[in-house]
Amino acid sequence: MKKIIIGQWLLLVASFLLSTQAMAFSRTGHQQVCQAAYQLLSPKTQQQVDALLALEPKQSFADGCVWPDEARKEAAYRYTAPHHYINVARAARKVQQRDCAKVGCLLSAISHHGALLKSLPTSEAKRQSLLFFSHFVADLHQPMHVSYADDQGGNKTAVYFLQQPSNLHGVWDRNLLAALGYEQNNQLLSEKLTTISALQQRQWQQGSVLQWANESLKQTQKIYQNYRPGMLLDEAAISRDSPVIELRIEQAAVRLAHLLELYLAQDAS
């Protein structure tokens, strides 16, 4: 990884930092995952996605994947707020289906919207399920979305990122991606995926949503070993953690494309 000079990034990153409001993968993260996933789709599946997006002509797939974060602030969609994460006990060594709260969680939401993608005809309901599903698959790969309730997924752990106030959740939602240039190049993830072999992509496609959640939990456990409240995250921390967040968004895009191919294989319209 090329050396990141703190002075070069400091002003840039500072403008993106949020100390308490980071609750899901950043806008950039969701846009890049969905855009990269779309480019991996077969022409037939791209056409099906396009047909759904055409029901809201001014909204691209990349922008639509951000919509669930905006929608949950509305009364009609407030019930979806718990669907962006899943919490486990601090002593838990793995995620289990029973960890899903009664009001729902990432696991149940992905299952629910995946079933609707397979069964619904082309409709507004199916368009919304496409966006919810795609958004939640990305969230599943952000480690702090598979975390602990007592720390609100890292939102309560205040840290300094390149000398600016942030929190543990925000670091993994946005700060690392901003420092790596994803805010400036909206094609960066798509470009990086061209270097990933077909064999590697097929390997990432293996497993289940629950297994992918457990991948995130393992990373969350490692994260808490390295972080302490109030600590300064510098260039060394970026060098250490950047490969992890890049791997997770690459896997999210590849797996989202794979699932969309499966769930949209038979057009129900």
User: pLDDT tens digits, residue range 144-198?
Assistant: 999 999 999 999 999 999 999 999 999 999 999 999 999 999 999 999 999 999 9
Kindly tell me if the per-residue pLDDT of 113 is higher than 90.
yes
pLDDT in tens, 4-54: 433 333 333 333 333 333 456 789 999 999 999 999 999 999 999 999 999
Q: What is the pTM of this model?
A: 0.90
What does the domain layout of the chain look like in residue ranges? 6-263
Q: How does strand 158-161 pair with strand 232-233?
A: parallel
**pLDDT for 59:** 87
Q: Is the Cα torsion angle 92, 93, 97, 103 positive or negative in sign?
A: positive
Query: What is the assigned CATH class of domain 6-263?
Result: mainly alpha
Q: Which of 76-80, 120-124, 265-269 has the lowest mean pLDDT?
A: 265-269
Write out the H or E segment, with its range, that includes residue 110. helix 106-119
C-alpha–C-alpha distance, residues 183 and 26, integer Å = 10
* Cα–Cα dist 230/208, whole Å: 36
Helix axes 106-119, 235-263, angle to 10 degrees: 30
Alpha carbon 25 to chain centroid, angstroms = 5
Q: Give tens-digit pLDDT for 186-236.
A: 999 999 999 999 999 999 999 999 999 999 999 999 999 989 899 999 999
